[in-house]
Amino acid sequence: MKHLITTAALAVSLVAPAFADTGFTLSSPDIAEGKQLDNTIVLNAFGCEGDSISPALEWSNPPEGTKSFVVTAYDPDAPTGSGWWHWVAFDIPADATALARGAGSEGGEMPAGTVQSRTDFGTAGFGGACPPPGEVHRYQFAVHALGVESLGLDENASAALVGFMTGANSLASARITAVYSR
């Protein structure tokens, strides 16, 4: 029993620093915690009528040792059994502190070296919200500070693979969860 407790304590001590409160924060002039997304961030397909423009995101106080960032937008409520990835961008340089409104949309400008990979729409770049009628879905916009400069992946990487590599290299994350219904 003593060996089991020691092993458990060691496991917690190895994991705990990755989840420590570092003061790392995410903010946006376009989205807010618990608030309804406006139509500029909504998809223009599948019965939804929006502009599908990625929101502006700003982050501050990344942990010491941050070498790159990953930005994601994810709907855990999508009726797929595995949620829906709306945006996956990685290898964002460590000196970046923001993404401009529309940066992840077609024709937008991401920081040099950033890779946008396939979302669940089957293409790279931001795809707006569009839940089934009558349902309220959560949209989790997150920035992850990583301890590596590159995930070693390309634009063909699946969101699940990017998520796995992000989790393996994350120093801290910050999130805004907005909602949308139609």
Digit-coded pLDDT (tens) for 9-62:
333 333 334 445 669 999 999 999 999 999 999 999 999 999 999 999 999 999
The per-residue pLDDT for 68 is 98
* pLDDT at res. 6: 37
* Whole-number Å distance between alpha carbons of 84 and 140: 10
Which amino acid appears at position 161 of this protein? L
Q: What is the pLDDT of residue 136?
A: 97
Which of the four pLDDT bands, split at 50, 70 and 90, describes residue 65?
A: very high
Q: Any residues with CB less than 8 A from the CB of 25 and at least 6 apart, and which? A: 59, 60, 61, 174
Per-residue pLDDT at 75 exceeds 50:
yes
- The number of beta carbons lying within 10 Å of the beta carbon of residue 101 is 18
Answer for the pair 42, 52: CB distance below 8 angstroms, yes or no: yes
- The domains located in the chain, with CATH, are 21-181 (3.90.280.10)
Higher pLDDT, 7 or 155: 155
